Amino acid sequence: MTHHKENGLNTEFTQGLIAWQKTSGRHHLPWQSQNVYHIWLSEMMLQQTQVATVLDYFVRFIQRFPTMEDLANADIDDVFALWAGLGYYRRAQFVHQAAKIMVHQWKKQFPCERKKWETLPGIGRSTAAAIVAFAFRQPETILDGNVQRVLCRVFALDGDLIQPAFIQQLWQFAEQLLPENTRDIPAYIQGLMDLGATICTKNPHCEQCPQQKICLAKQQNRISELPHKSNKIQVKKQELFWALCVDKQNRILLVKRPHHGIWANLFCLPCFENEQAYQDFIDEHHLVKMQTLSACPHRLTHRMLNIRTQVFRLPEKPSALANGLWISFENLSDYAKPKPLDRLLMDFYAQSHPSASKKRQDK
């Protein structure tokens, strides 16, 4: 990797970014404070999630769990319910586990060392660095996908982001860019976030960029080709089978997902990965098929799901359906569910209760 100390490009980048952030960056986000709890929670929510999406979730979380102790003492299902729709649901479990550790083991004494934060569930180097940079002005850099893109473009770095050796070089290079004055650390780290999220995006707004005069990718007309990433994520196709069971009171059967795998610990319809297990469930409980819903495709990071759903009524003498909850439609929002299930249930309710659905939309 080429270093740029000799021509002062590093210093110009760093000082320019700090100045730009102070005048044009984001300053009114609800977690921008010295409250370590707020900083940690926001960084967990912001993992692979845009600020605009996180805003409402963060506010609701703080209203429901004002302190770390409130979160640590909460029921995990309440945490999942508030997280529903934010995606990457393992983060909700990590947040709950980490809160317990910080309250009961750390006695709410939050460390200023990055590596100590990395011992908590769900916290990698970049998240830990952001926490200690904002909360304690520690000279630590972040290196999420947005920052990788910024550095590769501004400094015309040709390495492959798939290669661990190049990522390690990027970390070392990013550390060289940190400002010498620790008072500037929060503005610098926030500036990296703001630049990557709002200006130097996949389709960048170069005319608004504070680095446009020194950006080597712009000078070399290589913005579209940087950064390099040699191979795309291999997406596997998978079929799932959902049984939408409705009882005489028009309640819907929800079951809790296992602790591991997709949608861990969320509430879902009875779900099967092969058609034979699905049919065995139908036969065992003598379910009466009412209709077949349209197939529901849903993209996960490494998988494209094709979800096939049928609606069933219970027989006159239903068999016991263990480990499930019968929930009325009005109370479904109290349970954390996979995003495609939320959409499916809303569509199903609109079809089966058109007048009630119209009233809900008119409110």
Name every residue whose Cβ is closer than 8 Å to that of residue 78 and which is 6 or more positions away in sequence: 64
> What CA–CA distance (Å, rounded) separates 331 from 310?
22
Confidence of residue 363 (pLDDT cuts 50, 70, 90): very low
Instruction: Report d(CA 198, CA 338) in Å as an integer.
Output: 29
Q: Are the C-beta atoms of 297 and 332 separated by less than 8 Å?
A: no
Query: What pLDDT sits at residue 7?
Result: 53
Contact criterion met (CB below 8 Å) for 184 and 193: no
The percent of residues in the chain predicted with pLDDT above 70, rounded, is: 93
Q: Among candidates 124, 187, 177, 183, which has minimal Cα distance to 154?
A: 177
The two three-digit tokens of residue 201, written as one number: 């995006």
Question: Which of 97, 100, 85 lies closest to 123 in space, CA to CA?
Answer: 97
What are the pLDDT digits (tens) for 292-349? Answer: 999 999 988 789 999 999 999 988 776 667 678 999 999 998 898 998 999 999 999 8
Over 90: is that where the pLDDT of 1 sits?
A: no
Q: Are strands 271-272 and 303-313 parallel, antiparallel or unpaired?
A: unpaired
Domains of the chain from N-terminus onward: 5-225 (1.10.340.30), 236-362 (3.90.79.10)
Which distant-in-sequence residues (6+ apart) come within 8 Å of 105 by Cβ? Answer: none
The string of pLDDT tens digits covering residues 54-64 is: 999 999 999 99
Task: Please name the residue ranges forming H helices in the chain.
Answer: 9-24, 36-45, 51-64, 68-72, 76-83, 90-100, 114-117, 125-136, 145-154, 164-176, 185-194, 216-219, 275-284, 339-352, 354-362
Alpha-carbon gap, residue 6 to 85, rounded angstroms = 48
43 is catalytic: yes
Is the full-model pTM beyond 0.95? no
Catalytic residue among 43, 225, 275, 316: 43
**pLDDT tens, 271-286?**
999 999 999 999 999 9
Residue 190 has pLDDT above 70, yes or no: yes
Mean pLDDT (the chain) is 91
